[in-house]
Structure 1
Amino acid sequence: MGRNLQGGERLRPVDLARGHGLSTQAIRNYEAAGILPAAGRTPHGYRTYTSLHARALGAFLALVPGHGHPTATSIMRAVNRGAVDEAFRFIDESHAQLLDDRRTLQAVERALRGLESTAASHPDTASGPDGTFIGPLAEKLGIRPATLRAGERAGLVVPRRDPRTGYRVYDEADVRDARLAHQLRRGGYLLEQIAPLVAQVRAAGGLEPLEAALGDWRGRLSARGRAMLAGAAELEAYLRERG
C-alpha cells in the first residue's frame, strides 16, 4: 500500500473535487503539475489523498485570484519541492507588479488632473475649428516639434495631413492626447508605456468616459490586493500543516 504524506482520513479524488466544484480529472492534473503533493496508492493502485492535499488544493485555489494561474502554479510547485524561498520570491514579484500597476494608475490620474487644469486655465486656445499645426501646439505644450514627431512615430498622436500642404493638423482629440502623453512623459514614463494608456483614452471617447474605466481599474487593483491577502492566509496554513 502506498504511504500517505500525512496521517488521518484518506480521501478519494472525488472527495477533493466535490468540495470545490472540480472534476476528478482536474485533481489528477493538479497532482501531475506539482500543485498537489504526490498521492498515496492503495494495493490496487488507486490514488488516496489526505488533509494535506486538501489544504494544498485550498491554498492553490486561493492564490489564483490574486496572482494568476501561472504564478500560483509556480508558488505551489516550489513549496511542494521544499524550495520555500523560491515560492516567496514569486509572491514578492507579484506584489511588486501590483505596486507598479498602482503607480501607473496614479500617474494616469495625475495626468488627467493636469489636463483638466490646463483646459480650465486656457479654454479654447489649443486649436481652432480647423485644428492647429505642429509649431503652435509644441509651443503650447512647452516642447519641441521633434518631440511631437517622436510621439507620432510611437503611435501616441496621429494627426491628419493638410491635403494641400501636407502639414500635420492636430484636432481637439489630438491635442488632448498630446497633452496626456506630455504629462505622462513628465511623470517618467516611456513612450511604449504611454501608448496603451493614450489608446485607452481614445477608445473611451475622451477623458470623461475614462473616469469610469479608471474607477473600475482601481477596484480591480484593490480586489487583487485583498485576494493576495486571502491567498497568503491559505498558503501559510498549508505551510504549517506541511511542518
Structure 2
Amino acid sequence: MLSASERNPTPVMDPSRTKVSALNHNHTHHHTVPSASAQQQLANSSMPPQFIQHIWVVTGPAGSGKSTVGRYLEQELGVPFLEGDDFHPPANKAKMSTGTPLTDADRWDWLISLRSAATTLLSTPVPIPTPTNPTATAAPRGVVVACSALKKKYRDVMRVAAYGSPNVHIHFVYLKLEAETLYARVSARQAHYMKQSMVESQLRDLEEPRGDEWDALTVPVKVEMGMGDVQREVMLAVRGVVEEYEKAS
C-alpha cells in the first residue's frame, strides 16, 4: 500500500467537458515491460513524481474480471474504485439486457461521466490520519476504474482526464482472455444484464492496445489461472510502473 505521507498531490479538475475529435488499431505490450509507460509519462511531466496522481483503468470485454481486479487494486493501492457499469444510463442497460450492442453514441456520455467521476475523486480529500493529526485529509494518490474501453478512441476519451493536468497520469491495464473463457464466465452469471451475444459483439469491437499506446499494459490471462494468480500478475505489472515513479522521486 502506498504510504499516507505521499498522498498530497495538487487536486485536479477535469479539464474537458466537451467532445474530443478522438472519438472518431492487434499487437500488445507484455506486462513484464511496464517501464516504457512510466518513463514516457515522466518525461512529459513537469511535476515531481511524489505529487503525481494515477488513474488505473482496468480494461477488457465482459467476463475478463475487470471489477474483481479493480477492487483488488483498490485495496492494494489504497485508492478509490469506480465500477464503470454503475455509470451506464438505464437506456444502455436496457439495450444490453436484450442483446442489442451499444453504439459509439451510446457510450459517449457514459465515458464522459466515468471520466468526470474519476477526476472528481482526485480532487476530493480523503482521511489520512497521522500520529500528530488524526483528522488529516489529502487528495488521493490515484483512482482505479473498471471500464471495458474496447476501442482506442474510447481510451482516448479517458485520456482527456490528463489534458492540462500535469499531475495526472493515466494507465490502462488490459486483461487479455480467450473468447471461450469469456463466454463461459458470462454464461455463469445468473442475474447480470450482459449476455453471451453481447460478448461476441464486444469482441468484434475490441481493439487491443497497440505498441503506440505506451500507457497500456497487457496482462495475458490463461484459462488455468485462478483469480489469485490474475491479481498477482496485475499487481506485478502495476508495481513495476509505480517503482519507476519511486525511482525518479
Q: Is the shorter-chain TM-score for this pair beyond 0.5, marking a shared fold?
A: no
Q: Which has the higher strand share?
A: 2
The structure with the largest alpha-carbon Rg is 1
Greater relative contact order, per chain length (Cα 8 Å cut-off, separation 6+):
2
Provide TM-score, normalisation by structure 1.
Answer: 0.23
